[in-house]
Structures are given as C-alpha cells and as structure tokens.
Amino acid sequence: MKSGGRSSTPSGAAVAVGILTSTLVFSFSLALHQTPQEPTILQVTDDPSIPILKTKFSRNHVHNQFRVFMETYGKNYSSGAEYMHRLGIFAKNLVRAAEHQVLDPTAVHGVTQFSDLSEEEFESLYTGFKAPAGAPLMGGVGGGEAEKLEVDGLPESFDWREKGAVTEVKMQGTCGSCWAFSTTGAIEGANFIATGKLLNLSEQQLVDCDHVCDVSQKDACDDGCSGGLMTNAYKYLIEAGGLMEEGAYPYTGRRDECKFNPDKIAVKVADFTNIPIDENQMAANLVHRGPLAVGLNSIFMQTYIGGVSCPIICGKRGVNHGVLLVGYGAKGFSILRLGNQPYWIIKNSWGTTWGEHGYYRLCRGHAMCGINTMVSAVATQVY
C-alpha cells in the first residue's frame, strides 16, 4: 500500500525499534512472572497471586509506598481487613504501573489516587462511557455526520484553554458520570464561541434527569452514575430545552430526583454532529468548532502521572471513558514512534491532582486508544 507517493514498507530503523520494544516487554513480563516471590510480602498481602520483584517490590518498599500513598491522598480504611485488602491491590498496582511504564515509556506511570482500586473498581467508579454493544467504530452514534473541513493551513499547535473557552478541571467523584462532564465541557466551549461568555454548566442536571437511549441500541441509555453517552445527552438537552448553570444545579456526585427548572436555562443546544474517523478532521473541527466530546480507552490512565502517552498497543474497542478534547501540540517526544510526534490535549474529570493538573496528553495520528472512534461536536443557540 502506498500513501503520498511513499512506500509503506517499514524502514530498517523501524524494524529494529519494533524488535527492541518487543524484547523489552517480553523480558519484563518474564521477570514479573518468573521471579520467585519474596515470602515476607505474602505475609503482608496473604495473596500468592501477586507477582513481586525481589529488589524493587520488597515488603518494606510496598509498606513504605502504601504509607506515603495514604498520607498523600488522605486515605483511611474502616478495618484491618480492609487495610490488608487495599494493601494487596496496591501491591498489584505497583507492578501494573511498572508494566505500563515499559509499554508506554514516553509517559510517566506510577502511584496515583487510584492505586488502591482494582481495575474493575476503577472502571466502575471513575469512567462511565456506555458505548452501544457492537457499535461500529464511527465518529459517534446518533446525529448527522459533520461535513469534511479543509485541513491545510491548520495551526501547528492549538489550545482552547489559551482562548478562554475551557472551565476549570472538575471532579466527578465515585460516580460513573464522565459522559456528563464531557457533554458540558463541549457545550461550555460552543457557548463561549457563540457568545464570548464562559459559563460553568450543570453536570448534575444530566445525572438526575437524562434517561435518553441510543436510537440503534436501546440498552445504551443515559443512567446517572451508571454511565451514558454524550450524544444521548445532546438529544436530551434539545428535547428538554436546555442546560442550567452549575450554581443553579450543583454537582453532588450521586443520582437524585430531577430538579430541572426550565426558567433557569442558561444554554440551549441547537444541534450536534459526529466527526469522521480521521484525526485531521478532528483537528480541523476542534479549531473551527470548539472543544470536542470524545470517548477513549482508559486502560493506561489509572497509573498515568504525566508526559505524552503513546503506548505500544491500546485497544480501540475498549472505549469506556468520556473526556474533552481541548487542543493539540506539535512536538511531544515519542521514542517508540521515532522522533517528535504531535499529541492531543485532553481535559479529564478526576480533579487537578491527577495527571498534568487534571489533563492527559495522548499521541496524535495513530488512532491511539480509540480516540477517533466516538467524537462529536455541538452547536448552541444564541438567545
């Protein structure tokens, strides 16, 4: 296959890097699973399934790291049994972070506020993007497809934060409401572009009041802290008449009875469109239409601390988290991709203590972690 007149045959350097990377990952995995476990760590965790490297993950190391973790994030456990359970999970997550560091060497992975949660708990409590079962990899579900925009002449780098279109990083808490934060972020940006005013809009209205289901998959319904879709939320807001401000309908982090007041609508949604599976089109729509609501696979995010994440492999069909695309950069260094590569700037909803002050950088141009599979833009009414 040819593209742009250049052969797609891998270069010798690319093949060498691929072989080296595969060797590193294989060697690391082998070390994790073949190194004899230190007996003392089993006394701490009482869980023989935890792989431990003698030197780095000794009993004292795990204990010390767990104490620092508890102090840093204000963690307290209700009983000794709960403490031991969380310590065991923490030990596993230390190993998992080390695995992620090998698979994603241009980012920094380590201990985060989620290090005492299992993968299942983390996904249940802190994600919430409910992609329809068997949904095709397309720009989104529902709504029309956006017209293709000219991509020549786009800025080398672009950031809506610098233009005043992005509110502060918010915190969804232990509620699978990421979809609501992604929705409000896109609408906040669109309203800013339309009016010049940056309003802080209500996620709680969506959590409490939105029960819309996807037209093609009736089981993909917006369901408060149990997940939802940004495209469903747009439909709800069009039908309901609009969205209230955060101050009028504040976030609680749990689902409650609907308190929507039509007299206090701050922004009305006019329409929304799905962006084609093309990262150049994503960039063009981002520049011309404002921040975009996107879904992605969050598998590397539980251990992410900073840097440009560009993992060797990150599944496109494990999309489970709704976030906000606010910009892109031109030169995020990625050793695995042979040089300086562009990256996306992503606003998350896990507070400012996570990642880069609440933001995530993900390499651009590789369909990484399904970033291009569920992308939508919204337009607001001026009234």
Cα dihedral across residues 50, 56, 58, 64: positive or negative: negative
Q: Where are the alpha helices (DSSP H) in the chain?
A: 12-34, 39-45, 59-73, 80-103, 119-126, 178-195, 203-209, 230-240, 279-289
CA–CA dist 187, 192 (Å, integer):
8
Torsion of CA 227, 161, 277, 311, to 10 degrees: -80
In this structure, what are the phi and psi dihedrals at residue 310, rounded to the nearest 5 degrees?
A: -145, 65
Q: Using an 8 Å Cβ cutoff, are 199 and 266 in contact?
A: yes
Q: Please confirm, yes or no, whether 348 is among the known catalytic residues.
A: yes
Catalytic, out of 93, 191, 348, 372: 348
DSSP helix/strand/coil, 323: strand
Hey, how many other C-beta atoms are within 10 angstroms of the C-beta on 355? 24
Catalytic, out of 175, 178, 213, 363: 178
Helix then strand count (H, E) for the chain reads 9, 13
In this structure, what are the phi and psi dihedrals at residue 201, rounded to the nearest 5 degrees?
A: -100, 165
Q: Using an 8 Å Cβ cutoff, are 320 and 297 in contact?
A: yes
Q: Using an 8 Å Cβ cutoff, are 106 and 310 in contact?
A: yes
Q: Please confirm, yes or no, whether 178 is among the known catalytic residues.
A: yes
| Tokens encoding 95 | 């190993």
Residue by residue, DSSP assigns 240-275 as H--EEBTTTS---SS-------GGGEEEEEEEEEEP
Q: Please confirm, yes or no, whether 209 is among the known catalytic residues.
A: no
CA–CA dist 293, 272 (Å, integer):
11
Catalytic, out of 109, 232, 274, 321: 321
Catalytic residues: 178, 321, 348
